[in-house]
Amino acid sequence: MMKPISTRIRVIVTKKLLCLLLTLALVPLYCACSSGDTADSEQLTYYYSQEYRDDMAETIKRYNRWCSSHSTEDMKIKLVEFENYETMSQRLNIEVMAGGGPDLFSNYQDLPFEKMIQNGAFYDLNELIGNDTAQDKLDLSLYNQTILDAGVFDGKRYYLPAFYRVPVLVGDKAAFEKFNMPTQQGYHLTFDNMDEVFADYLQEPGGYRFMSSNTQNGGINADTVVFKLVNAQTDFENKTCSFDDGFKEKLELLTQLRELSQESQSESSGVTESDDTPILFQPVYSISNPIWMETLINLPEGVGDIPRVSDPVLYSYFEKDETTYSAAIADAIFVNAGTKKGDKVPAFLKYMLGEHLQNLYTGTDEEYWAGGGMDALPVLNSAFDSCIRTAYNMTGDYGEYLGVKDELSPATQALIDHIGHINSVELNYDLYKTNYDRNVAIPILQDYWDGKFNADKCADNLSSATKIYLLE
Amino acid sequence: MKLKTKQAWTGVGFALPALLGVFIFYLIPYCISLYYGFTLQNQFVGFGNFAALMKSNTFWLSMKNTAIFSVIAIPLAIVIPLLISLFLSTFDKHTGFFSSLFLSPMIVPAASVIYVWQIFFTDYGVVNSLLQKLGIEPVVFFKGPWSMVLLIVIFVWKNCAYNIILFSAGLRKIPRDVREFAYLDGASRTQVLTKIVLPLLRPTTFFVFLLTVISSFKIFREAYLLYGMYPDEHVYMIQHFMNNNFNNLNYPRLSTASIVLSIFIIAVMLIMFRVERRSDIA
């Protein structure tokens, strides 16, 4: 039986209304998908936040100015600025999860780089550099191979470091003598010999704090020493780990040293709450640039509240073993594997690894304090040589040139020797930022420090969690 | 006819908001997941992601633990409330009070519950202190197989009350006359239970089963709060695997795992519905 025409019309109109409603409901979805989408831009993109220091963003700003002055506007990189770090991080995560995101990443962003490398989320930079048809093609043989090859996994180059740091410890010779610690420059402090080195200090700290407990101090503090110990038990490449009895002993010893680093200590430990409490290892000297080191050693008044160390002695920074000399990447660039603008990347890489910027950020250029660098080392060999030459310069209180020194201080010379031995490179200088430490090691260690369990259980938990992390 | 059409459209109108929600928040993301499951860096890789997932030791570890948890915890979370409901049904009064009392674990936020459980079960917690006073070796509840036991206990404890209420309601629906006639005919208590009560309670049991299965997937909240992102290998559940791969931005693996899991859940549900329908017909 046929329906009356009026009913059929009503049904058709209702259907159309419903379709319209359905379509309207999808509008916000499409809006959400397209809002702020920068992937369609002709320019390479990079996200950064004003909240924290990001030298890569500064480099890009310089690069963009350089592009303007060289009439290569189309090669500029679009900087997407976020007011706070959290917003940027959320946006980055969502976009990368959706297979998009900016074209460039750097280790200033808290991304799970180790896992992303495994997942093939980054472009093989060897391929990008190899495809560059420009005459001034990047010649990687001019750079520090040990540092540069840190970004190579299974023959593919997933990131390019621009600057690196060499964590070292510097303290006062008189204090070291007081605690019967070795006083030779460049002493190779390892997790294996630390019990002997600090035996007397642990017996009687004599009012000395061990080192800074300030977590903002450029990645070196009493906590990160423990993180480094945990990392030393883990072979990320072969996906194995060992948290044996030796580890437990070292963990307990380092926890003691960590407690001696706290700003507020009870009288019973021999460390007072006074602001003038001397520190065994001065945090300001956790600086790897010879120019900076030489400057600090020679400043008559010290820096800020930290007094000058009159007779500095340099130690390596808790190495894994006798043969390991470690460094950490300060700035590294990654390229999104999904980028459609890979041809524009080599120009930026050449600028970032070029002589001008490499010299500028390490203090050998006329813009001495520019860029906020200074504490890092350049990967370009000629810039590194220039950095050492500059360390010989004598400067006045206002940075004015006064002449050339005959020789560097013994601590700076020991630092240069140490740099020459580097054979192990980590991606992050600040261990609070690595994916493994942030998600696996730190929560367990924090529970241990809070007294929720003992060292045995801590080692067990670390072992169990690390095994899962490595295989995941 | 006219009225029927009008009623049908009214029904569609009322269902529309919910349907839109399902469409936007479930179906579209699921289709996107399907796309990611077959691609890597926007390139089609066929079943490559699935093959990689099948080789993943952590995936199988999480599946194994989830299966162990489900096989033990779900039956316990059904049987214990059923027994309690049967016990409560023998009382003529005050069952409402007991039901409300049992409901309290559901009201308390998960974080608070976990905090209390930590106080009880940590190495230096209440339970271990009592054990030590009794001269018994302390138990490490947060490590090894005990960690799974603890998780199962929490799950059963949390879900008991709701299931008791459902079973109690189901038991109240069974007419007393039926049981009384059975007793008059000389049936024993066990026979009444197995031949009358349990068969008549089957729809309620099926509903409780579905809700408990759904609830078992929410145990991640408790597992995460108790053991963290990287727990002991005995309590590394499928949700840990998914959550960690989400944090690691490994979207192909995450999508692939969610597809495999959804297929598995749909298959289990279909089997259960079929079993339920067959038993209804029988």
Q: What is the pLDDT of residues B14-32, one digit of tens each?
A: 999 999 999 999 899 899 8
The pLDDT-based confidence of A151 (bands split at 50, 70, 90) is very high
Q: What are phi and psi of A335, to 5 degrees?
A: -115, 130
Structure confidence at residue A305 (pLDDT): 56
**Chain A residues lying within 8 Å of B16, measured CB to CB:** 18, 21
Distance CA B175, CA A259 (A): 70
Structure confidence at residue A147 (pLDDT): 96
Can you tell me the mean pLDDT for A89-103? 84
The pLDDT-based confidence of A272 (bands split at 50, 70, 90) is very low
Stretch among A312-316, B59-63, B104-108, B207-211 having the lowest mean pLDDT: B104-108
Stretch among A18-27, A325-334, A461-470 having the lowest mean pLDDT: A18-27
Distance CA A21, CA A27 (A): 10
What is the share, in percent, of chain B residues with pLDDT greater than 70? 95
Structure confidence at residue A181 (pLDDT): 96
Can you tell me the mean pLDDT for A304-321? 81
Residue with tokens 């799970």: A112
Residue in B with minimal Cα distance to A96:
B249
Structure confidence at residue A276 (pLDDT): 65
Number of A/B CB contacts below 8 angstroms equals 103
ipTM: 0.78
Please indicate if any CB of chain B lies within 8 Å of the CB of A439.
yes
Can you tell me the mean pLDDT for A58-79? 91
In angstroms, what separates the C-alpha of B211 from chain A's closest C-alpha? 30
The pLDDT-based confidence of A422 (bands split at 50, 70, 90) is very high
Structure confidence at residue A368 (pLDDT): 47
pLDDT in tens, A328-365: 998 999 999 888 888 999 999 999 999 988 888 776 66
Stretch among A84-98, A340-354, A369-383 having the lowest mean pLDDT: A369-383
pLDDT in tens, B246-269: 888 888 888 999 999 889 888 988
The pLDDT-based confidence of A28 (bands split at 50, 70, 90) is very low
Residue in A with minimal Cα distance to B7:
A11
**Chain B residues lying within 8 Å of A110, measured CB to CB:** none
**Chain A residues lying within 8 Å of B251, measured CB to CB:** 96-99
Q: What are phi and psi of B40, to 5 degrees?
A: -140, 120
The pLDDT-based confidence of B128 (bands split at 50, 70, 90) is confident
Can you tell me the mean pLDDT for B111-131? 85
What is the share, in percent, of chain A residues with pLDDT greater than 70? 82
Judge whether A106 and A54 are in contact, CB under 8 Å: yes
Partner residue opposite A464 with nearest CB, options B36, B233, B251: B233
The pLDDT-based confidence of B179 (bands split at 50, 70, 90) is confident
Can you tell me the mean pLDDT for A48-68? 90
Can you tell me the mean pLDDT for B107-129? 83
The pLDDT-based confidence of A270 (bands split at 50, 70, 90) is very low
Distance CA B259, CA B30 (A): 8
The pLDDT-based confidence of A237 (bands split at 50, 70, 90) is confident
Structure confidence at residue A458 (pLDDT): 92
Please indicate if any CB of chain B lies within 8 Å of the CB of A111.
yes
Three-state helix/strand/coil letters over chain B: CHHHHHHHHHHHHHHHHHHHHHHHHHHHHHHHHHHHHCEECCEECCCHHHHHHHHCHHHHHHHHHHHHHHHHHHHHHHHHHHHHHHHHCCCCCCHHHHHHHHHHHHHCCHHHHHHHHHHHHCCCCHHHHHHHHCCCCCCCCCCCHHHHHHHHHHHHHHHHHHHHHHHHHHHHHCCHHHHHHHHHCCCCHHHHHHHHHHHHCHHHHHHHHHHHHHHHHHHHHHHHHHHCCCCCHHHCCHHHHHHHHHHCCCHHHHHHHHHHHHHHHHHHHHHHHHHHHHHHHC
> CB–CB of B58 and A471 under 8 A?
yes
What is the share, in percent, of chain B residues with pLDDT greater than 90? 30
Please indicate if any CB of chain A lies within 8 Å of the CB of B33.
no
**Chain A residues lying within 8 Å of B254, measured CB to CB:** 97
The pLDDT-based confidence of A307 (bands split at 50, 70, 90) is low
Residue in B with minimal Cα distance to A30:
B24
> CB–CB of B24 and A25 under 8 A?
yes
Structure confidence at residue B281 (pLDDT): 61
Structure confidence at residue A268 (pLDDT): 46
A22, pLDDT greater than 60: no
A397, pLDDT greater than 60: yes
Please indicate if any CB of chain B lies within 8 Å of the CB of A440.
yes
Structure confidence at residue A19 (pLDDT): 56
Structure confidence at residue A267 (pLDDT): 46
The pTM of this model reads 0.81
Structure confidence at residue A37 (pLDDT): 46
The pLDDT-based confidence of B240 (bands split at 50, 70, 90) is very high
In angstroms, what separates the C-alpha of A453 from chain B's closest C-alpha? 7
Distance CA B74, CA B156 (A): 8
Distance CA A316, CA A281 (A): 11
Please indicate if any CB of chain B lies within 8 Å of the CB of A337.
yes
Structure confidence at residue A304 (pLDDT): 60
The pLDDT-based confidence of B155 (bands split at 50, 70, 90) is very high
Can you tell me the mean pLDDT for A62-90? 90
Structure confidence at residue A31 (pLDDT): 44
Partner residue opposite A439 with nearest CB, options B39, B229, B249: B229
The pLDDT-based confidence of B143 (bands split at 50, 70, 90) is confident
Please indicate if any CB of chain A lies within 8 Å of the CB of B245.
yes
Distance CA A304, CA A311 (A): 18
Q: What dihedral angle (degrees, nearest 10) is formed by the CA atoms of A359, A364, A365, A370? A: 90
Across all residues in chain A, what is the average pLDDT? 83
Give the C-alpha distances (Å, rounded to integers) separating B70 from B60, B62, B74: 15, 12, 5
Can you tell me the mean pLDDT for B215-241? 88
B77, pLDDT greater than 60: yes
B44, pLDDT greater than 90: no
Can you tell me the mean pLDDT for A433-449? 91
Q: Which is more confidently placed, A396 or A471?
A: A471
Stretch among A89-93, A381-385, B276-280 having the lowest mean pLDDT: B276-280
Across all residues in chain B, what is the average pLDDT? 87
A40, pLDDT greater than 70: no
